[in-house]
């Protein structure tokens, strides 16, 4: 008997359950020939397995973590049912990937044998301009959704995220912050119907799933309850031209402007969204300037330049923004401005040129160099005082590539009840902070150093952020929030779940008990069933 065959038998003896699951899973799938799903199942021996997995792994921190036994890449919704039923039968987990950030990699890694359900081929977009709605399959990226809407005309948009490479299945099920949220609410606030496949492989629409499950998937994390197949969203009316602009400043000597932004950004007219981004400047290659911390205020005004200028003269005369600035008649490194179609604003917020081809929105290329990163989040109910900005500046100067993104609330966000959907961060929240730190070398020492720095910043921010509980945004998941991957109980989930959902956690767990009592759809921060001892 060959040594390779002996080794294979030994491995199967040690990992009997995994070998058994492997063979049984394929045998089970073969019982559903009408779906053709076996043609879209990939193993580590398949030529395209690595490329599919690499595309899924947006954060390279997890490149060497556990890999799926199988990748299922269905091309029809009907192909998903056998994957669910066969995974249950042989004891495999399912991880659902629609193509976004997923900072902690929960949609493509697990300590248990698992199947990666890759939804990227389910990416159809169907627009009804008469009804002013759009159906979008969960594997479509925001870019594909934005592209389809832009191709239909210039007077419709949709409330969604800034990074258009994100999959719609995930971002909408977690809430969906974006530049239009002060005007129209979150992406999840604009969902009017959905298609979900439940734990038994049945496809449910809003009427069939009932209002409790429909409530839960709009901000509670859809992957806890089933497989989100598609969303039906309200289209929103936008002018043929909107205005985008950016104001650049060094933090040192310009904290007064940032303080003013903190105090009034959530009180501005709902048509005006101004976010703040803080990062390091100087000391880059070819740049001999002294390292410093800088910020820029990046804005979208849902209207024309001539309407914007009087508003800015009223609220932010310090910007000194003129009509000439917005038609590229000036060259000023401290400010820039453009009047563009809504689709141009989408490109602008993603760091692309406003006049680039809309085909940019369809890009799904795998970056040749991915940045390792660690992220987390907070919500603030009071402005950060001077001492807080001094601390942030000091810690930023200790790091090479830190970043804070501050998205203002108010407007429509204040008008929606904190229990309307699971996302509870409404009236009283001034803004959300997304913290990020990036690095290029994933050696153990460097990664540990960067993560330790992020944890230090998060701890130092504690006096300035929301309390009881300290809150966070589900789509910026952080496993530092007391997660125990061996404990899927409701009592353990309260440790992190109240950060994301506040008082909505209990209702989410009760919905979970009804639709998935055995907790088949799970990850380290999924909603668990509500234990009977807590009723």
84 and 137 inside one domain: no
The radius of gyration of the chain's CA atoms, rounded to the nearest angstrom, is 24
Active-site hit among 476, 490, 500, 530: 476
Q: Which of residues 237, 263, 296 is at a domain's end?
A: 237
Q: Do 109 and 27 fall into the same domain? A: yes
For residue 255, tell me if it sits in a domain.
Answer: no
Closest CA relative to residue 103, chosen from 374, 444, 366, 451: 374
**pLDDT confidence of residue 10:** 40
Per the structure, how many domains does the chain have?
A: 4
Q: Is 490 a catalytic residue?
A: no
Give, in order, the Cα–Cα distances in Å from 292 to each of 252, 283, 285, 395, 405: 8, 8, 15, 11, 17
Contacts of 271 (CB under 8 A, 6+ apart): 183, 301, 302, 303
Task: Single out the residue in 172, 207, 237 at which a domain terminates.
Answer: 237
Q: How do the pLDDT tens digits run along the chain, 535 residues long?
A: 444 343 344 444 444 455 657 789 999 999 999 888 999 999 999 999 988 888 877 777 877 778 899 999 999 999 999 999 999 999 999 999 987 678 888 888 888 899 999 999 999 999 999 999 999 999 999 999 999 999 999 999 999 999 988 999 999 999 999 999 999 999 999 999 999 999 999 999 999 999 999 999 999 999 999 999 999 999 999 999 999 999 999 999 999 999 999 999 999 999 999 999 999 986 544 455 688 999 999 999 999 999 999 999 999 999 999 998 888 655 667 899 999 999 999 999 999 999 899 999 998 765 545 788 999 999 999 999 999 999 999 999 999 999 999 999 999 999 999 999 999 999 999 999 999 999 988 788 899 999 999 999 999 999 999 999 999 999 999 999 976 566 678 888 888 999 999 999 999 999 999 999 999 999 889 999 997 443 3
Token digits for 235? 């289209």
In a domain, 336, yes or no: no
Q: How far apart are alpha carbons 372 and 453 in whole angstroms?
A: 14
Q: What is the pLDDT of residue 225?
A: 97
Query: Could you tell me the CATH number of the domain that includes residue 173?
Result: 3.30.465.10
Give a yes or no: residue 403 inside a domain: yes
Q: Which of 118, 139, 169 is the last residue of a domain?
A: 118
Task: Evaluate whether 434 touches 473 at the Cβ level (below 8 Å).
Answer: yes
Per-residue confidence (pLDDT) for residue 344, from 0 to 100: 95
Question: Does residue 88 share a domain with residue 139?
Answer: no
pLDDT number for residue 369: 56
**55 by DSSP, 3-state: which?**
helix
Same domain assignment for residues 488 and 471: no
Domain range for 449 is 371-480
Q: What is the pTM of this model?
A: 0.93
Instruction: Quickly tell me which residue has 């301009």 as its tokens.
Output: 129
């Amino acid at each position: 008997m060959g040594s390779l065959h002996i080794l294979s038998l030994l491995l199967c003896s040690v990992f009997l359950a995994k070998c058994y699951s492997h063979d049984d899973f394929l045998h089970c799938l073969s019982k559903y020939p009408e779906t053709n799903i076996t043609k879209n199942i990939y193993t580590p021996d398949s030529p395209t397995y690595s490329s599919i997995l690499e595309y899924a792994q947006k954060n390279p921190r997890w490149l060497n973590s556990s890999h799926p036994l199988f990748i299922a890449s269905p091309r029809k919704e009907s192909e998903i049912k056998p994957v669910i039923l066969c995974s249950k039968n042989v004891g495999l987990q399912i991880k659902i990937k629609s193509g976004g950030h997923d900072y902690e990699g929960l949609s493509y890694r697990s300590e248990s044998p698992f199947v990666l359900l890759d939804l990227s081929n389910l990416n159809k977009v169907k627009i009804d301009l008469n009804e002013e709605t759009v159906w979008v399959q969960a594997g479509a990226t925001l870019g594909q959704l934005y592209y389809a809407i832009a191709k239909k005309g210039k007077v419709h948009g949709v409330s969604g995220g800034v990074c258009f490479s994100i999959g719609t299945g995930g971002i909408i099920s977690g809430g969906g912050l974006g530049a239009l949220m002060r005007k129209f609410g979150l992406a999840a606030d604009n969902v009017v119907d959905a298609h979900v496949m439940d734990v038994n492989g049945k496809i449910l629409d809003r009427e069939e799933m009932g209002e409790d499950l429909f409530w839960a998937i709009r901000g509670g994390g859809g992957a806890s309850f089933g497989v989100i197949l598609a969303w039906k969203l309200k289209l929103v009316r936008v002018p043929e031209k909107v205005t985008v602009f950016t104001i650049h400043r060094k933090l040192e000597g310009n904290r007064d402007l940032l303080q003013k932004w903190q105090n009034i950004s959530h009180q501005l007219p709902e048509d005006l969204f101004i976010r703040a981004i803080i990062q390091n400047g100087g000391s880059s290659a070819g740049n001999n300037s002294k390292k410093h911390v800088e910020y820029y205020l990046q804005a979208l005004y849902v209207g024309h330049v001539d309407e914007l200028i009087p508003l800015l003269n009223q609220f932010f005369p310090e910007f000194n923004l003129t009509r000439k600035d917005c038609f590229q008649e000036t060259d000023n490194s401290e400010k820039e401005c453009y009047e563009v179609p809504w689709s141009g604003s989408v490109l602008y917020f993603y760091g692309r040129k406003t006049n680039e081809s809309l085909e940019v929105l369809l890009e799904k290329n795998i970056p040749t160099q991915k940045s390792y990163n660690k992220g987390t989040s907070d919500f603030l109910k009071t402005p950060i005082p001077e001492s807080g900005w001094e601390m942030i500046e000091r810690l930023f100067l200790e790091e090479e590539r830190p970043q804070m993104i501050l998205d203002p609330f108010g407007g429509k966000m204040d008008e929606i009840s904190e229990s309307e959907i699971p996302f509870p961060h409404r009236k009283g929240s001034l803004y959300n902070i997304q913290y990020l730190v990036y690095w290029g070398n994933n050696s153990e020492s460097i990664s540990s150093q960067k993560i330790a720095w992020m944890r230090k910043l998060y701890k130092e921010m504690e006096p300035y952020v929301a309390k009881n509980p300290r809150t966070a945004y589900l789509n910026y998941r952080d496993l530092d929030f007391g997660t125990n991957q061996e404990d899927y109980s409701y009592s353990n989930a309260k440790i992190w779940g109240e950060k994301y959902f506040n008082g909505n956690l209990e209702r989410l767990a009760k919905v979970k008990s009804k639709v998935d009592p055995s907790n088949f759809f799970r990850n380290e921060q999924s909603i668990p069933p509500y234990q009977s001892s807590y009723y």
